[in-house]
A and B are shown apart, each in its own frame.
Chain A
């Protein structure tokens, strides 16, 4: 099993860089995108093992991205991170099939645990 590729989508440059830094320090391979549209254009879309995405982004939100990915037939697990959490958003994110929902600021190990769970599920369940 090769090292999984993690895609981070966040319109905030410093959160993006910090999340990438955290992942890399734990040995993951990471690619980052400033918007959902950029991510959808990525040539390595199919190789992604897990998507960590912000919820509130201009034009295309994290939920829109998840819906688009599912419509395209990608079953890749999604973890949402948001600095604007409330129960309604959390519920709709989990209903839409996200595996994790983290409110910024979150502890690094919380994200790592969530990510490991996502990767485990991806490995067990495979692509739908």
Chain B
């Protein structure tokens, strides 16, 4: 539009000035009387001149004007367009033609020139524009907050932007010309190389990857690289890489991953699975651990029904009810149930859930299911440990109590005390009630002993008394107690134990009776042996008695009227032992000699007697069988002696058991200590485990370690209990090959605390690789415990030297293994050395004097011997020798 207006202006100007010029020229020609042709020439010149200005239309109009002027002014008659002179016509035509052609030509030339100018100007503008644009792109390349790299085929950096170089702590020049691998971690270089290769193989395609880069200062940043290879001008491929710093994102991502891993591991460690349950949509989420607890494939779609399916049949109804209730009434729930898993195992589960409202307003349960099987087992084990302790008291018939002297009431009494006195548990017991249960003969002495103890503030005092039972029976109690002094210096409390020694007394009585019986029977045997002698007899071919030596009837040994009877009619045990008699008669039928046939019959007084007889057949000269001749002996005393001895052995075994259980009672505090130690460790480790898991960053390996220790200590506690139970067991004697050192080690485990409490140092000199002996482990343990406890007690008074107890094992060349227990205590008085192993010998106020004698019986029953060793220096040394296990002796 603008152009059109300016063109029009120009044409108007051209036409106006052209017309004025033509008018001036015309006027001038009138003055000068110029010829028509000359005038035409002048007009032409003017028109051509003005056509230079540009507008063809204006030039054309000027030409028409000029022709009109020519025709009017210079061609007569005036004001006629008719050309009379034929000569003038060609001039007019030529004029018109030349003026039009000339004008046109000039216009063209001018247009072309202008086009050329325009093109040149455009070229100039284009160049400037290009330069400007390059500058702008370079600025973008340089300062865009992304790192750009250009690499050649070999991975050499062709170019890098300043931003990129700066981010990595380099100047551009330091990177250009270097291999790009230098800014990657050693272990990532192969990966980067591969990525670049992929780009080069796939020109034009862009690829993305995440990788770490190292700065010049060694720090690392995560980048996401976007790369593409393209062909460069000379057809050489180059790789363009743009990278974005994603360190922060990556860090968050890794932190998230780590916290997820922590959570998963914490769930795994604590055996806690988590779950979510949207009741409205039925959507269920289970954590990995949840699947593991329920032993389900993580690919399974979780559902509340799966829980019911896995639940133990006994708990199914309650679990279903919880689920149903949760659907009806969306409130927090918590419950415990058992699972019965496909492998047959049973797990205890504790589940808790909280009802929350989701963004859409639905109710969603979010909860956790914990496998508490281990905790349940530990709980059970702890309960069992407590039960074992109570059992130990029950087994050893030892009750413990504490009596408050001010309130005259029990501060504490164990269940066994109630049982001993026949009190109801929880019953309030007045001092009168207690006194009424004590045997009246024992009451004054008991009160006297207590009074003295309270006055003298005695550390330890002992007394024996009897309890009258409701059924009229008597229970014998041995009590050990000490006083507790309060802060005011007065005795405030008595603490002690009551041990039921009724059985011990009974066993002792039985033993005394049996010993008396044995002594009597020995005497009788001796008497008979001195007076009785063998007698002779003869039987005929039909085995009937034909002859008896005279003195048997005189001594009253045999019943009268035996003549003519066969032996099986004389004997009284034919029906009891048919096999013995069948064999005997077979021997007689075969006419073979026989030896030491023992049978029972009656003497003249009708009392049963035992007869041992031997005989041989006799024949006549022709070899015809005539009968038997032989000798018989009355062995009644001998047989009776054997029976007594068997009873004695049984009584001794019983006493050994009672003594053993008594020893256990004495060890009760030590045993409680041995169990309390691992229990303390278990609780501390469990607390520590909670501590490790409760840290901001849970230390799972420390937590795991704590749990492993808990298991070890629980095993340790149960070992102690096993040893106690073994000792308390009243079982058959079991003779098995044993290493005496093992027996010693078991004993040390039981008495270790006793040694510490009495400040005794134990030294063991055990000879390695001793040959086995044949013995009963429990009985030998009892012997060693007894010797050790005696040693400990003997050193109680020692204050001027180290209390040292030495246990030594060795082997001699006569086929015996020795075990020696040596103390450095008060020793044994010269007079007592020979008696110390005898029954009822004791130097202790409370002792029964059975310990060492039981030890001797046990050792002798093992075909060994127990002896007191003479030693240099203070103290005593006991040794027992046991023969090697025969099967092992070559």
Contact = CB atoms under 8 A, between A and B. Distances in A.
Contacts of B756: 11, 56-58
In the A-B complex, the 3 residue pairs with the smallest Cβ-Cβ separation, listed nearest first, are A108-B687, A25-B691, A104-B680
Interface string B734-778: 000000000000000000010111011100000000000000000
Contacts of B716: 14
Interface stretch (A38-46, A68-76, A79-87, A120-128): A79-87
B684 A19 contact: yes
A25 B702 contact: yes
Interface string B678-700: 11111111111111100100010
A59 B757 CA distance: 10
A18 B692 CA distance: 13
A84 B673 contact: yes
Contact of A88 (B484, B681, B682): B484
Contacts of B669: 84
Contact of A108 (B482, B485, B684): B684
Interface string A3-31: 00000000110110111011011100000
B701 interface: no
Nearest to B495: A86
Nearest to B687: A108
B796 to A, nearest CB: 15
A88 B484 CA distance: 6
**How big is the A interface, by class?**
20 to 34
Contacts of B753: 56, 84
Contact of B685 (A22, A104, A111): A22
Contacts of B692: 25
Contacts of B676: 83-84, 103-105
A80 to B, nearest CB: 13
B496 to A, nearest CB: 11
A14 B759 contact: no
Nearest to B487: A91
Given A14-B677, A15-B680, A84-B673, 17 more contacts: A14-B678, A14-B712, A18-B682, A18-B713, A21-B685, A22-B688, A25-B689, A58-B756, A58-B761, A81-B680, A84-B757, A104-B676, A104-B677, A108-B686, A108-B687, A108-B691, A111-B684
Contacts of A107: 683, 687
Contact of B688 (A24, A87, A105, A106): A24
B225 interface: no
B485 A18 contact: no
Nearest to A56: B756
Contacts of B482: 88
B761 A59 contact: yes
A103 B680 CA distance: 9
B539 interface: no
A109 B687 contact: yes
Interface string A91-128: 10000000000011111110100000000000000000
A18 B684 contact: yes
Contacts, number: 108
A88 to B, nearest CB: 6
Nearest to A21: B688
10 contacts: A11-B756, A14-B716, A25-B706, A58-B756, A83-B680, A84-B673, A91-B485, A104-B679, A105-B679, A105-B682
Contacts of A12: 677, 681
Which of A19, A59, A108: most chain B Cβ within 10 A?
Answer: A108
Contacts of B689: 25
B493 interface: yes
B757 A14 contact: no
A116 to B, nearest CB: 14
Interface of A: 11-12, 14-15, 17-19, 21-22, 24-26, 56-59, 61, 81, 83-84, 86-88, 91, 103-109, 111
Number of contact residues on B: which range applies?
Answer: 35 or more
A78 B353 CA distance: 45
Contacts of A103: 676
A18 B759 contact: no
B484 A87 contact: yes
A14 B755 contact: no
A18 B487 contact: no
Contacts of B709: 14, 17-18, 21
Contacts of B761: 58-59
Dominant SS among interface residues on chain B: helix
A38 to B, nearest CB: 16
Given A25-B702, A105-B679, A59 B691 contact: no
Interface of B: 482, 484-485, 487, 493, 495, 669, 672-673, 676-692, 695, 699, 702, 705-706, 709, 712-713, 716, 753, 755-757, 759-761
A57 B757 CA distance: 8
Contact of B485 (A58, A88, A109): A88
A62 to B, nearest CB: 12
Contacts of B485: 88, 91
In this complex, which of A17, A59, A83, A87 has the most chain B Cβ atoms within 10 angstroms of its Cβ?
A: A83
B385 to A, nearest CB: 11
Nearest to B695: A25
A88 B493 CA distance: 10
Contact of A58 (B487, B706, B755): B755
A21 B679 contact: no
Given A15-B677, A22-B691, A83 B672 contact: yes
Contacts of A58: 755-756, 759-761
B683 A108 contact: yes
A22 B687 CA distance: 6
A105 B691 contact: no
A104 B680 CA distance: 5
Nearest to A107: B683
Nearest to A13: B681
A15 B684 contact: yes
A83 B673 CA distance: 5
B74 to A, nearest CB: 127
A88 B669 CA distance: 15
A25 to B, nearest CB: 3
A57 B755 CA distance: 10
Contacts of A22: 684-685, 687-688, 691
Q: Which of B684, B686, B690, B753 has the most CB of A within 10 A?
A: B684
Contact of B757 (A19, A26, A56, A106): A56
Given A25-B702, A88-B485, A109-B687, A83 B681 contact: no
A21 B495 contact: no
Please indicate which of the listed interface residues B683, B690, B699, B759 has the most CB atoms of chain A within 10 Å of its own CB.
B683
B681 A26 contact: no
A106 to B, nearest CB: 7
Nearest to A103: B676
A107 B487 CA distance: 27
Contacts of A59: 759, 761
Nearest to A104: B680
Contacts of A83: 672-673, 676-677, 680
Contacts of A18: 680-682, 684-685, 688, 709, 713
B672 A14 contact: no
A105 B702 contact: no
Question: Could you say which of B672, B685, B757 has the most chain A C-beta atoms within 10 Å of its C-beta?
Answer: B685
Contacts of B685: 18, 21-22
Contacts of A106: 680, 683
A123 B688 CA distance: 25
A83 B389 CA distance: 15
A14 B713 contact: yes
> Which of A25, A86, A91 has the most chain B CB within a 10 Å cutoff?
A25
Which of A21, A61, A103 has most chain B Cβ within 10 Å? A21
A86 B482 CA distance: 11
A106 B713 CA distance: 15
Contacts of A11: 756
B684 A21 contact: yes
Nearest to B710: A18
A86 B880 CA distance: 38
Nearest to B713: A14
Contact of A26 (B672, B683, B691): B691
